[in-house]
Homo-oligomer: A and B are copies of this chain.
Amino acid sequence: MARAPAERGELIPVLGEIFREHGYEGASLSVIGERTGLGKGSLYHFFPGGKAQMAAEVLDEVGAWFEANLYRPLRQEPDPRRAVGLMRQACLDYFRSGRRVCLVGAFALDNVRDRFAAAIRGYFIGWIEALTQALQRGGLEAAVAQNLAEGAVADIQGALVLSRALDDPSLFVRSLGRIEAGLLGAMEAR
C-alpha cells in the first residue's frame, strides 16, 4: 500500500491480505500500520474494536464475496454443469491459482478459530449448501449431493494446503480440474 486509502472500504481487502500472509497473531499492529500506511490513531479511529474488529470485518467481506461470486451462482445458474464450472473459475481467480491461501481455512486451523467460530462455520456451511443444491439440480440425491459437496470443498482446502506446502501452484490448478471432473462425472452417471 504505502499510501492512505481513499475510503475505509478499501482498507478491508488490504487487511485481508495481511491476515492471509501473517495469520491473526502474526499480523501485528506495526505490520498492519506499515502495509496500510495508517498509524495506530487512524486504525483505531476506523476500528475502535482493534485487531479483532478488523479480522471480523475481513471475514464478513470474504463471506460476502463468496456469497456473491460463488454461492449465489451455484444456486442460481440453471445448468448445474455450468454452475460447477463457474465455481472452478471463481476459485482459480480468488485463490490466484493456488498462490493465495484461504483466510478462513487458515483461521480454522489456528487457535483463533474459537473467537471467529460463527463466521468460519458460516463460510463453509454456505459453500457446501450451495454446491449441494447445484448437484441436486444435476440429478443427484440429496444425501449423495451433500457428501460430494463436502468432499469437494474439503478437497479444495486441502489442495491449497498442499500447493502451499510444496510451493507448487500448479498442483492447485490440477486439483481443481480433477475436482470439477469428479463432480461432472457423478452427475453424468445420474
Contact check, B113 vs A164: say whether CB atoms are below 8 A apart.
yes
Q: Does A173 contact B (CB under 8 A)?
A: no
A175 contacts which chain B residues (CB < 8 A)?
150-151, 154
Nearest Cβ on chain B to A6's Cβ, whole angstroms: 29
Question: When the two chains form their complex, are residues B151 and A105 in contact, meaning their CB atoms are under 8 A apart?
Answer: no
Q: A121-B167, A154-B175, A178-B151 are in contact. Are A111 and B23 (CB under 8 A)?
A: yes
Contact A111 B26 (CB under 8 A): yes
Point out the residue from B22, B26, B111, B117 that lies within 8 Å of A21, measured CB to CB: B111
Determine if B26 and A161 form an interchain contact, defined as CB atoms under 8 angstroms apart: no
A-side binding surface: helix, strand, loop or mixed? helix
By a CB distance below 8 angstroms, the chain B residues around A22 are 111
Contact partner of A147 (CB less than 8 A), chosen from B106, B155, B178, is B178
* This chain: copies in complex: 2
A91 to B147, CA, bound (A): 20
Residues on the B chain within 8 Å of A120, using CB: 165
With known contacts A109-B101, A110-B23, A110-B26, A153–B147 Cβ distance under 8 A: no
Cβ B106 vs Cβ A110 within 8 A? yes
* A174 located at the interface, meaning its Cβ lies under 8 Å from any Cβ of chain B in the complex: yes
Chain A positions within 8 Å of B, measured between CB atoms, are 21-23, 25-26, 101, 104-106, 108-111, 113, 117, 120-121, 123-125, 147, 150-151, 153-162, 164-167, 171, 174-175, 178
Interchain Cβ contacts under 8 Å between A and B, 9 examples: A23-B25, A23-B111, A25-B25, A105-B165, A113-B164, A121-B166, A147-B174, A151-B155, A151-B175
